[in-house]
Chain A
């Protein structure tokens, strides 16, 4: 965060004062919404990579899967899955706010926890679904 030098020579901090406030789920969700949005930007590039690899035939797809099946690849894919779920649910929370619903302090805290819980549930659920062999139903 940029500090703005004043005419008097003092440097005064700008908001948000992340090191001063007590952490709360509402601010955590807000920060995570931006962070997951940025992570999903990288995910969009991977989506393009995936589509190109499929268009390059079986060898092309294998070259993608080499990276996707690596332990690091799986960690990244889990990150994208969780980010996708979180941004999806918290995005709906934001849309509700835009319509004027859910601004009550305690309700906003509850929906914050709800969105966090749902995002982890979905991400872990997706990986459990795949690892127990239930995925690939479009074959």
Chain B
């Protein structure tokens, strides 16, 4: 059967969703970045548990630690946005509900990223 795809559409390789492998690739890039960031995060959480607020502020106020924690939070939340989108794409079949949930997830993710970064700046500036 002759393809109904135009030659331009074919070479662009973006498919029916107009984003090609973009979502898949972003999910992989964030997951690879999260391997070292998660190891660092685990090391930090074990090191800070059972201490107190003063120790945590002192640790998180250090520029490198603040930067790494921000990187962990932002990368995790972006990865979370991509992952939850797949869950919604798979299970929600009505257009209205799908658009609402995708919008809600992005709102929560952006708000949480902003909250984490703001809290880290506030901790560092005490």
Q: Which residues of A contact B93 (CB under 8 A)?
A: 2
Is B38 touching A84 in the complex (CB atoms < 8 A)? yes
Give the docked Cα–Cα distance between A61 and B58 (Å). 14
Is A136 touching B48 in the complex (CB atoms < 8 A)? yes
Q: Which of A41-61 contact B (CB under 8 A)?
A: 41, 44-45, 47-48, 51-52, 54-55, 57-58, 60-61
Is B73 touching A136 in the complex (CB atoms < 8 A)? no
Is B50 touching A44 in the complex (CB atoms < 8 A)? no
Is B35 touching A130 in the complex (CB atoms < 8 A)? no
Give the docked Cα–Cα distance between A34 and B115 (Å). 25
Q: Which residues of A contact B73 (CB under 8 A)?
A: 44, 47-48, 51
Is A139 touching B83 in the complex (CB atoms < 8 A)? no
Give the docked Cα–Cα distance between A139 and B108 (Å). 33
Size of interface on B: residues with Cβ below 8 Å to A: 41
Q: Which residue of B35, B49, B59, B76 contacts A44 across the interface (Cβ within 8 Å)?
A: B76
Which size class do A's interface residues fall under? Answer: 35 or more
Is B47 touching A138 in the complex (CB atoms < 8 A)? yes
Stretch from A18-26, A87-95, A102-110, A112-120 that touches the partner: A87-95
Q: Which of A120-139 contact B (CB under 8 A)?
A: 126, 129-130, 133, 135-139
B9 beta carbon closer than 8 Å to chain A: no
B84 beta carbon closer than 8 Å to chain A: yes
Majority secondary structure, A binding face:
helix
Give the docked Cα–Cα distance between A52 and B112 (Å). 11
Q: Which residues of B contact A130 (CB under 8 A)?
A: 46, 49-50
The smallest C-beta distance from B46 to any residue of chain A, in angstroms, reads: 5
Is A52 touching B115 in the complex (CB atoms < 8 A)? yes
The smallest C-beta distance from A86 to any residue of chain B, in angstroms, reads: 12
A79 beta carbon closer than 8 Å to chain B: no
- Residues of B at the A interface (CB closer than 8 Å) are 28, 31-32, 34-35, 38, 42, 44, 46-57, 59-60, 69, 73, 76-77, 80, 83-84, 87, 93, 108, 112, 115-116, 118-120, 122-123, 126
A/B interface sample: 23 pairs, CB < 8 A = A37-B83, A38-B83, A38-B87, A44-B76, A44-B80, A51-B73, A54-B53, A54-B57, A54-B123, A55-B120, A61-B52, A62-B53, A91-B34, A92-B35, A95-B28, A95-B32, A98-B28, A133-B50, A135-B49, A136-B47, A136-B49, A138-B44, A138-B48
